Amino acid sequence: MGTKSMLFCLAAAALAAGPAGAQPGAAGKSGAELSYFGRSSVKIRTASGFVIYVDPYADGDYAEPADLVLVTHGHGDHNQVGLVSRKAGAVVVAPAGAAAGPGLAAIKEGETRSYGPVTVRALPAANRNHRRGSGFGYLVSFDGIVLYHAGDTSWLPEMAEFAPYGIGWALLPCDGFYNMGPEEAARCAAAMKAKRVLPIHSGADGLYDAKNAADLAARAKAAGAGAFVLEPGRKLALVP
């Protein structure tokens, strides 16, 4: 391994530690946890065992039946709800026309819904490929945790208005091709005063781009936020 590669690996490891204080750790059965599958695909399990999948697409373990599926928009790398095992009565929340199948519940920008122990609010999202209103980010609240999954988006002035939500986790795209790049994503994190940042949709192609993910994490950490980089297939414990 060359010197530059070694430094990159050491830097990435350091970023995963985040700020001082109460920290996320190895995911376990006692509390809420997040699993990252790649691209924008994540699984969240609350402390009570309520299971949420967001933007199912990337290869991962979708076998645990969902209580709730969230689709940010209708592109094929975000809306493969057929991959997900679902409990009876499970709901698929999506913008109108963004997904197909049973259990669909269309949501509009600014609308808030409650499902069991989870509250979901649809927030604005837009980039050069998505007009505003065709897709959303989701503010997901549970167990005292506030998590923002941005979906596909670039900087929007309204993101400064997200600060009062008290976002503990901001999952932000940073591919720099379809969406904003790391520098712009870090600006968004600062505007919304996110406590921690987790890069998603880090590459224009494929499931993961280590360079963009590390770049965003470094910028977020430099601005005072926690920075956590997950490779596909990894998970972490969520804390408020």
Q: Is 12 among the domain residues?
A: no
Give the structural domain span for 209: 25-237
The C-alpha atoms of residue 236 and residue 219 are separated, in whole angstroms, by: 21
Q: Is 19 among the domain residues?
A: no
Give residue-wise pLDDT tens across range 83-126.
999 999 999 999 999 999 899 999 999 999 999 999 999 999 98
The C-alpha atoms of residue 212 and residue 101 are separated, in whole angstroms, by: 34
The token duo for 67 is 């209580």
The C-alpha atoms of residue 165 and residue 167 are separated, in whole angstroms, by: 6
Amino acid type, 186: A
Q: Is 6 among the domain residues?
A: no
Report the domain count for the chain.
1
Q: Is 17 among the domain residues?
A: no
DSSP-assigned letters across all residues of 41-109: EEEEE-TT--EEEES--SSS---SPEEEEE--SSSTTT--GGGS-EEEEEEEEESTTS--STTEEE--T
Q: Is 156 among the domain residues?
A: yes
Question: Average pLDDT for consecutive 10-residue bins of the chain (240 residues)?
Answer: 40 42 51 96 98 97 97 86 96 95 95 98 89 90 98 94 98 94 97 98 94 98 96 97
At residue 27, the pLDDT reads 57
The closest alpha carbon to 174, from 192, 201, 148, belongs to 201
Share of the chain above pLDDT 90, in %: 78
Give residue-wise pLDDT tens across range 188-213.
999 999 999 999 999 999 999 999 99
* CATH number of the CATH domain containing 198: 3.60.15.10
Q: Is 4 among the domain residues?
A: no
At residue 6, the pLDDT reads 37
The C-alpha atoms of residue 155 and residue 169 are separated, in whole angstroms, by: 17
Q: Is 15 among the domain residues?
A: no
pTM over 0.85? The answer is: yes
Q: Is 162 among the domain residues?
A: yes
